[in-house]
Amino acid sequence: MASSLRFRGAASGLRYWSRRQRPAATSLAAGKDLAPSCPVPPPAARFSRLTSEEIFSREALRLGRCLKPNILADVKAWRLLPLPLAPLVLPSLPLLGIQMDDVQRPFRDLGRVCSRSMASKTPVGFIGLGNMGNPMAKNLMKHGYPLIIYDVFPDACKEFQDAGEQVVSSPADVAEKADRIITMLPTSINAIEAYSGANGILKKVKKGSLLIDSSTIDPAISKELAKEAEKMGAVFMDAPVSGGVGAARSGNLTFMVGGVEDEFAAAQELLGCMGSNVVYCGAVGTGQAAKICNNMLLAISMIGTAETMNLGIRLGLDPKLLAKILNMSSGRCWSSDSYNPVPGVMDGVPSANNYQGGFGTTLMAKDLGLAQDSATSTKSPILLGSQAHQIYRMMCAKGYSKKDFSSVFQFLREEETF
């Protein structure tokens, strides 16, 4: 039956293309670009490898053309291949320097990629619409994903509901309506409640669901949640982020992903809508490990930048001039050139807005606590990390808990007792 259908399809293609106008021999010999409907493709050498994401769209299929998907980026073929063309072109491919497998692979993968494209139209669950979750969810919307939304604070959902997205009353309801779910929560306790609580995701999760947690939590908690999800037939991946609120808004976050490697491509499809870097780190928990290490270094460098700027100002240097010198010298770091803690040095950062927004001091203290716990369990010395943890805990006790973590500059300016 399958052979008969292939033969009938080939015959149909021959009849169809025999009625089309054939190109002049001189055009083919000269290697000129031909119209997409032309039965003879240009030489393969005229086409570079495709790196942009291309899928099988309904319009392309309606026109009888096949857009090469991103998973075939290394195929040396042409961008638009009329589907009925194969019976005429395939015998001549070696003469054009094109291997048969280069063209056969897109057809073999047609069904799989079409299914993936159709799956991408299904709703995505999103839980946690705080400073980071809100812009992340909006970027998914911009890429055409319908959302199933939940947040413990109903007001956080209002703008999404006004935009036509579906709001539900619990994480379990999200799991009932979506088989791909992203969570962005403040602490390990919040993550445990969202997944394993009385109305948690795992109460109604569907078999085969993909659960992506972008919270920054204890790696051990991620591993436990992954085990619980596996018992329910679902896949759990940890994918904490770096880049801050600005990167979340612009879609330039870095995701550090831990989990089953075979599921990474499925996670990357969604995470790529919210970030410019999606990095596979290894098994479940390694994403959290990478994030904890990154944030410990960030805290240390922010304190160092704040101390340096404070010292320079007290020595009579203009803060903008000092920042300029640091950023063209060996002391340059992200805290000095992209997130400077001194008011008036940079626009568009929390220090220019009385340290409102951004990454809260409480969250930084929490992440440093995770680093401290991990250092204790692995017997790793983190002298500066421990000191940074104590400084941010002191800041929380002194009224800085709701301010951005770069407010450590203000804290040091006001504290004369160190």
Going by C-beta distance under 8 Å and a sequence separation of 6 or more, which residues neighbour residue 126? 133, 136, 137, 140, 147, 148, 149, 150, 174, 181, 182, 183, 184
Axis-axis angle for helices 383-395, 361-378 (nearest 10) = 150
Separation of alpha carbons 159 and 341, rounded Å: 31
CA dihedral of 303, 306, 308, 314, whole degrees rounded to 10:
-140
The Cα–Cα gap between 236 and 201 comes to 11
> Which of 32, 76, 231, 291 does the annotation list as catalytic?
291
Strand 253-258 relative to strand 275-282: parallel, antiparallel, unpaired? parallel
Residue type, 270: L
66 pairs with which residues across the strands? 81
Token duo for residue 146: 């319908």
CA distance 286 to 222: 9
- Residue 403: what residue type? K
Clarify whether 291 is annotated catalytic.
Answer: yes
- Which two three-digit tokens encode residue 294? 């990154």
Longest dimension (CA), the chain: 89
> In terms of DSSP bridges, do strands 241-242 and 253-258 run parallel, antiparallel, or are they unpaired?
antiparallel
- Which residues is 213 bridged to in the sheet? 183, 238
H-run or E-run covering 291: helix 286-314
Pairing of strands 166-167, 147-150: parallel
Query: Roughly how many angstroms between the first and final C-alpha of the chain, as a whole number?
Result: 83
Do residues 221 and 373 make contact, with C-beta atoms less than 8 angstroms apart? no
Does residue 311 come out as left (phi exceeding 0), alpha (psi in the -120 to 50 range) or beta? alpha
Active site residues: 291
